[in-house]
Amino acid sequence: MSTEQNHGTELSRRTVVAAAAAMAAGAAAGSGEAAEVERAVTRGNLRHSVCLWCYRMKTAEMAPIARKLGLVGIDLVAPDDFPVLQEHGLLCTMTSGVWGGIPKGLNRREHHAPIVESLRGLIDATARAGFPNVICFSGNRAGLSDEDGLKVCAEGLKQVVGHAEQKGVTICMELLNSRVNHADYQCDRTEWGVELCKAVGSERFKLLYDIYHMQIMEGDIIRTIQTHHAYFGHYHTGGNPGRNEIDETQELNYPPIMRAIAATGSTGIVAQEFIPRQPDKIAALAQAVRICDV
């Protein structure tokens, strides 16, 4: 997943019917009225969320819908909207708002002071609200070697990860593709991110494993999850190619991917981060959650 603003499977008859029912709610759901939205999470083997930016909706519009669908929270929300989430009994599953956004990250020492200050504030707000995670980014390479970038990122993170430990909040660096969406971004391979986790050496620093982005960069999604899940604190979905619905129109088969995550015993959260093509975007979200509810 990425914060763009600051930042298949063969469907069962049950899934198709449920998606059609959600689509019938169309106008009301799209406007943020959740009365007609049916619960999508029924198994409970994974915790589910949604990235707000993909839907061009306000937190107050999405919150009642998320609650009706059975999601535990909403991803990529800033502290100003925490009260809305709390009102609806939801988590901010990934706090956003770090200084510098995606391109100006922790791989430059001149960025450390403002990023560390920003992260400390976000960690404090997240901890006060009882929420779990705060997002961060490596930044773009801009000629910096991967070896040096990793070293500098670790230096920056060590300045703030102790604070995260004290507050019980996990800092998650997102893995993004540098081929299609985020040219020159440094944390664009799982192995690099895993080595960074080892260098930081704290359970309060992990990776946000974005399945869409890593399909573009590496593929081999299930094996990667099985091998490196201990370093993954959070997951994002998205269809490839196009970053649209995660249905049978694209190359990723999400049910076995979700089963692989569940088999690791993950206590993290899977957040839907795709841009709906169909007019009823809430029906698209409900369908995706059902696909991932394994």
Please state, in angstroms and rounded to a whole number, the distance separating the CA atoms of residues 83 and 208. Answer: 25
Each residue's pLDDT tens digit, 81-94? 999 999 999 999 99
Each residue's pLDDT tens digit, 63-76? 999 999 999 999 99
294 vs 36, which has greater pLDDT? 294
Locate the domains of the chain by residue range: 13-292
Each residue's pLDDT tens digit, 107-149? 999 999 999 999 999 999 999 999 999 999 999 999 999 999 9
Each residue's pLDDT tens digit, 163-173? 999 999 999 99
A 10 A CB-CB count for 145 gives 10
Residues of the chain with pLDDT > 70, as a percent, come to: 88
- Paired tokens of 76: 């990529």
The answer as to CATH 3.30.9.10 being correct for domain 13-292 is no
**C-beta separation of 39 from 68 below 8 A:** yes
